[in-house]
Amino acid sequence: VSLKPLQILGNSIPTDETTNVTPTILSKIHLRLHSQPSHPLGVLRSLIESHYPDFSHFSSVSPLVSPYQNFDELSFPPDHPSRSPTDNYYLNKGLMLRTHTSAHEVEMFRQGETKWLLTADVYRRDEIDASHYPIFHQVEGARIFDANASGMKEVEEDNKRLSKFLARSNIVIEDVPHLSSTNPAQPSHDPQLVKLVSLNLKLSLNSLMFKLFGGSATSPSSPLRVRWIEAYFPFTSPSFEVEVFFQGKWLEILGSGVIQQATLDAAGVSNKIGWAFGLGLERIAMVLFSIPDIRLFWSTDERFLSQFKKGEITTFRPYSKYPPCIKDISFWIPQNGRFHEGDLYDLVRDTAGDLVEDVKMIDQFTHPTTGRTSMCYRINYRSMDRSLTNEEVNRVNEQVASQLSSQFDVEIR
Ligand code: PHE
């Protein structure tokens, strides 16, 4: 274990026994793909921003936050499972990479922002496949109103404007009640006002969905379908998820809700009420631009980058898919319980980088007499840019195996 400080975005950051951020992650923090105007994530960000012209737009807020900002200020209980180091990247005990853009809600409201969008890279330790990558991008949007008669008037006027727009759009919405016994208003809120705020949230997001998905493939006989689902987040109540029916499937698009009063209190704006939403850009960009693999967003290959233009949703034409090369790794895991699946995923990414398309557990058994457990994982190697040779893949795979046995005390079989 090295105790050297980490150099991140010009800061020198001390490490401790909590540090689990990997070199692969550190090497990508400065890239900020959503800031490149002709990158698909940048194109999608601009499109969403253009739908909210009178909101403040932020897109270069540092990803380093305290666990307090990421969790506590958003009412996550102290023992909430999402705080686990197996799911997050910690720089040290007091500093982590944000797991969601909601981590900035309190500072935005504290700065006096009342209508804002914030786009940023977020970090979660996760599995490896075509739609998961440990870094992805979110847009947080929020709007707060005065919690009094004048605020109520502002909401009602905006609701009228949005309803008019939606009445002219070819969209069918499956709604849920604004409030229910399982999705209640907060004790300090006036339920009538909460209903108006929920309606404003729904109208605003329905019109955004129409902007993003309504252009293609809708016709009088096949309108865009959007459905609202009751949800739960520690930092909103009532809470909702939104799904859109696109290319034959329901896609999960976003989480949202009426902001917990505790969040607004922490920001010093107790006399306000409002909504927030958070949406992931990659999954939306994958369907809108027909991008088949999430690793492509990180490609610097001109055959990828040259296909996109500022301000346009274009269809990606995949260049030839190179052949896969599949390797299995079997090993006994240590009996001290000190091996987690996430450690394997990070180790694979650090050793093999973006040559790995997919990692799956294919077998697990416990020896009847010794009680030892053996795991077998299948690693699918495939470059996005070139053909790999079997010798090259063997070398990388052997490095994975030797790192695994030296770092985690596992015994390769
Ligand atoms: N932060 C939540 C997530 O990442 C999404 C969300 C944002 C939900 C704002 C409610 C309000 O899943």
Q: What is the pLDDT at residue 385? A: 85
Cβ–ligand 1 contact at 274 (below 6 Å): no
Q: What is the pLDDT at residue 336? A: 81
Cβ–ligand 1 contact at 102 (below 6 Å): yes
Residue nearest to atom 10 of ligand 1 (CA): 256
From CA 223, how far away is CA 245, in angstroms rounded? 10
Digit-coded pLDDT (tens) for 46-83: 999 999 999 999 999 999 999 999 999 999 999 999 99
Residue in 235, 241, 258 to alter for ligand 1 test, most ligand atoms within 8 A of Cβ: 235
Ligand 1 midpoint to CA 120 (Å): 13
Q: What is the pLDDT at residue 247? A: 87
Distance between alpha carbon 128 and the CA centroid of its chain, in Å?
15
Neighbours of 286 (CB within 10 A): 20
Please state, for a pLDDT cut of 90, what percent of the chain lies above it: 91
Cβ–ligand 1 contact at 276 (below 6 Å): yes
Residue 342: strand, helix, or coil? helix
Residue in 80, 98, 102 to alter for ligand 1 test, most ligand atoms within 8 A of Cβ: 102
Digit-coded pLDDT (tens) for 376-389: 999 999 998 899 99
Digit-coded pLDDT (tens) for 82-94: 999 999 999 999 9
Q: What is the pLDDT at residue 3? A: 73
Residue in the structure block whose two tokens are 């909601």: 102
Cβ–ligand 1 contact at 99 (below 6 Å): no
Q: What is the pLDDT at residue 2? A: 56
- Interface predicted TM-score of the whole assembly (ipTM), two decimals: 0.99
For the CA atoms of the chain, what is the radius of gyration? 23
Q: What is the pLDDT at residue 217? A: 60
Residue in 137, 183, 233 to alter for ligand 1 test, most ligand atoms within 8 A of Cβ: 233
Cβ–ligand 1 contact at 257 (below 6 Å): yes
Digit-coded pLDDT (tens) for 136-175: 999 999 999 999 999 999 999 999 999 999 999 999 999 9
Residue in the structure block whose two tokens are 């599949």: 326
Cβ–ligand 1 contact at 275 (below 6 Å): no
Cβ–ligand 1 contact at 141 (below 6 Å): no
Kindly state the helix (H) or strand (E) to which residue 386 belongs, with its residue range. Answer: none
Q: How confident is the model at residue 188 (pLDDT cuts 50, 70, 90)?
A: very high
Cis peptide before 77 (omega within 30 of 0): no
Q: What is the pLDDT at residue 292? A: 92
